[in-house]
Structure 1
Amino acid sequence: MALSATLHNFAIQLADIDRGVYQDLELRLARHPSENDEFMLTRLLAYCLEYEDGITFSDGGVSSTDEPAVLVRDLTGRITAWIEVGAPDADRVHRGSKLADRTAIYTHRDPAKVLAQLPGKKIHRAETIPLYSFDRDFIDAAVAAIGRRNTVTLSVTERALYLDINGTSVSSAVEEHRLG
């Protein structure tokens, strides 16, 4: 018998001072059985940190082979931002970089290990693609606070992330690394 996705609800107050984005979001995330909590949290953070009109989680979620975890489409349906989560393979990043104006990767893993799997691989515009990572203790503490229904306040200032999730407050720098 196949396992079904677990639904998580997030009521988010987003204040991204760096980009001038202030938004209240009501999000429902389906955590696929093969997806761990760290990946789901990173997917949520990527969505918030990239928030703009047209942003969405991919239809297939973590199991999608044709789309990233998060993407942005313009009004014509063209993909303008391809946002990967975790440790995507070079072929996915290459494809996304060719399809979209902008590509980014957010990871909950050791960024050195993610970057180590990419050298020598063909990635379109690799030098323009940022890899964002968070402190490991931040990820662990935030994951421990996640429930099925969540109240979240997320503030970003000078690439520092301040997260309150269900009364647990944690913070992390958003570290930027480059593929190329």
Structure 2
Amino acid sequence: MALKATIHKAQLQISDMDRHVYGDHSLTIARHPSETDERMMMRILAYALYQPADDRRGRLEFTKGLSDADEPALWQLDLTGDVVQWIELGQPDERRLRQAQGRSEEVTVIGFASSTPVWWAGLQNKLQRTPKLAVWQIPADQSQALAGLAERSMQLQISIQDGTAYVSTEKGSVDITPVLLKERGQ
């Protein structure tokens, strides 16, 4: 018998002073049996970091992710169903990133393992001329600290200022400072 997803609920308050995006969101997160707390919390962080200012170009959504190899961790679909933003977590291969660029306006990768610099060094030259792609690294100690805040029911406040996300819950707080490995447009 197959294992079922574990449902997590999060009340998320976003205050992104860098992009002037503010809002409260009630999230239901289906955590795949093979997904770790760290990856689940990275999905929530990505949701906060890439939340659009309005719904004119569609909403940012969690996808089937690990359950469907053709979908990223999150995406923003416009009203016609076209992909505006494709967000991958981890260390996807070159073929997957090229396919994502063909299907969307922007592709973002957020790596969070300590091996991310090694993974990126192997792909950097191959993906040099991919103007839709941005690659970020969350330092492993920060992503692991974020995983420590995971609960089945969470209230998260995420404030983003000067490129740092300040995540706080009743359990504690974590500062996350993403490191840019590849800028979009280059």
- On the 8 A contact 1:84/1:105 being kept in 2, the answer is yes
The 8 Å contact of residues 127 and 178 in structure 1, kept in 2 or not, is answered as no
What are the equivalent positions in structure 2 for 1:94-173 lying under 5 Å apart?
Answer: 94-110=98-114, 111-119=116-124, 121=126, 123=127, 125-173=129-177
> 1:1-180 alignment to 2 at 5 Å?
1-52=1-52, 53=55, 54-58=59-63, 60-110=64-114, 111-119=116-124, 121=126, 123=127, 125-178=129-182
CA RMSD of aligned residues (A): 1.9
Give unpaired runs (5+ residues) of structure 1.
Answer: none
Give the deviation of 1:39 after TM superposition: 1.2
C-alpha separation in 2, matches of 1:166 and 1:70: 26
* Whole-angstrom distance in 1 between the partners of 2:94 and 2:134: 14
Q: CA deviation at 1:17?
A: 0.7
Per the TM alignment, residue 129 of structure 1 is displaced from its structure 2 partner at its CA by 1.7
Q: How many residues are matched? A: 178
Change (3 A) 1:107 1:119: closer
Distance between the aligned counterparts of 1:114 and 1:140, measured in 2? 19
Deviations for 1:14-35, whole angstroms, at most 9, x for unmatched residues?
0111110001011011110111
| SS state at 2:51 partner | coil
Q: Percent identity?
A: 33
8 Å CA contact 2:109, 2:136 repeated in 1? yes
Matched residues in 2 for 1:76 and 1:124: separation? 30
Question: TM (normalized to structure 2)?
Answer: 0.88
Displacement after TM superposition at 1:176 (Å): 1.0
- The 2-side partners of 1:56 and 1:172 are apart by 22
Task: Specify the code of the residue in structure 2 equivalent to 1:107.
Answer: G
Structure 2 letter corresponding to 1:21: V
Secondary structure in 2 matching 1:95: helix
Find the residue that maps to 2:79 and give its secondary structure. coil
Deviation at 1:120, TM superposition (A): 5.5
Shift in CA distance, 62/165, structure 1 to aligned 2, threshold 3 Å: farther
Contact 2:105 2:132 in 1 (8 A): no
Report the TM-score when normalising by structure 1. 0.90
Q: Runs of 4+ in structure 1 displaced over 6 angstroms?
A: none
Alpha-carbon distance, 1:67 to partner: 1.3
Long gaps (5+) in structure 2: none
AA partner of residue 16 (structure 2)? D
